[in-house]
Amino acid sequence: SQQGEEDPQALSIQEGENATMNCSYKTSINNLQWYRQNSGRGLVHLILIRSNEREKHSGRLRVTLDTSKKSSSLLITASRAADTASYFCATDARQGGSEKLVFGKGTKLTVNP
Amino acid sequence: DAGVTQSPTHLIKTRGQHVTLRCSPISGHKSVSWYQQVLGQGPQFIFQYYEKEERGRGNFPDRFSARQFPNYSSELNVNALLLGDSALYLCASSLFGSLNVLTFGAGSRLTVL
C-alpha cells in the first residue's frame, strides 16, 4: 500500500520556472523524506523534514510540512533541464513491529530548455 | 567511497525460474532494504534487514525471501517467477534502521518472459 500520494502525477515547465509538487499521507509520521529518480535509475535522497519542523531549505529546494493536513510540498526554484526526473515522497510507517519507508507513486517532472 | 552496489544490473528469466539478486551496502551501513519498482509506480517495500536480522517484511508472497550476511551484504531470492515479477529491484542501505535516510543502488532490472 502507498502511504504517500504525490500530486500532480506529471508536470511540465520551462527552464527558469518554479516547480511545486505535493504529497499527502494518511497516518501520523515522525519524518517525511523526498527522493529523486532519474529515468530507470536508483533513487537519490534530497531532503528530510521532521514532524516538528514546518519548513526546510536545501539549495534550490524548499520543503514544507503540514502535519494537521497530513501534507507536504516540494518546491524547486529556478528549474533547470537537469532537474528532469521523478520525485517521490516517503514516510515512515510502523506496522506490527515492522518499520519501513513507504513511497508514493511520484511526480514526473519535465523541464524544457 | 563505493556506493551501494547491486548485481546483476539486467537479467532475463522465464516463468517458473528463480533469481538471486545481490547487494553490497555502503561501508559501515548495517541496514539493507529491498524494494520492487514496477514501471510507472513508486518503490514497494519488500524486506528490511538490520544486523543480519529481518526487521520488516512487505506484502509479498513467500516466493520472495532474503538474507543478510555477516559482512552486511544481502541477497534477494525470488522463486517460481511470474510475469508480474518483472520490475526494477532496488537495494538501499542506511546506518541504522530503515526509517533513516536511504542510499540506493542503481537497481537490478528483471524481465520475466
Please give, rounded to a whole number of angstroms, the shortest distance from the CA of B65 to a CA of chain A.
16
- Express each pLDDT in A69-105 by its tens digit: 999 999 999 999 999 999 999 998 776 666 788 899 9
Structure-block grid coordinates of residue B67: 538474507
* pLDDT of res. B1: 60
Secondary structure (3-state) at A82: helix
Residue A85: phi and psi, rounded to 5, are 180, 175
Report CB contact under 8 Å: A42, B90.
yes
What residues have CB less than 8 Å from B7, skipping those under 6 apart?
B21, B22, B108
Please identify which residue in the block is written with the cell numbers 513491529.
A97
pLDDT at A27: 86
Q: What is the pLDDT of residues A12-51, one digit of tens each?
A: 999 999 999 999 998 888 899 999 999 878 899 999 999 9
At which residue does the C-alpha cell 526546510 appear? A56
Residue whose C-alpha is closest to residue A76's, from A58, A61, A59, A65: A61
B3: amino acid identity, one letter: G
A70 in contact with chain B, both atoms CB, cutoff 8 A: no
Name the residue among B48, B88, B101 with its Cβ closest to that of A45.
Answer: B101
Closest CA–CA distance from residue B68 to any residue of chain A (Å): 17
- What mean pLDDT comes out for the span B10-36? 96
Among residues of chain A, what percentage have pLDDT more than 90?
75
Per-residue model confidence as pLDDT tens digits over B52-98: 899 889 999 999 999 999 999 999 999 999 999 999 999 999 987 66
Q: What is the pLDDT of residue A1?
A: 46
Q: How many CA atoms lie within 13 A of B38 on its CB side?
A: 9
Nearest to A100 among B4, B56, B104 (CB): B56
Tell if the CB–CB gap between A106 and B101 is shorter than 8 Å.
Answer: no
Instruction: Kindly give the pairing relationship between strand B108-112 and strand B10-13.
Output: parallel
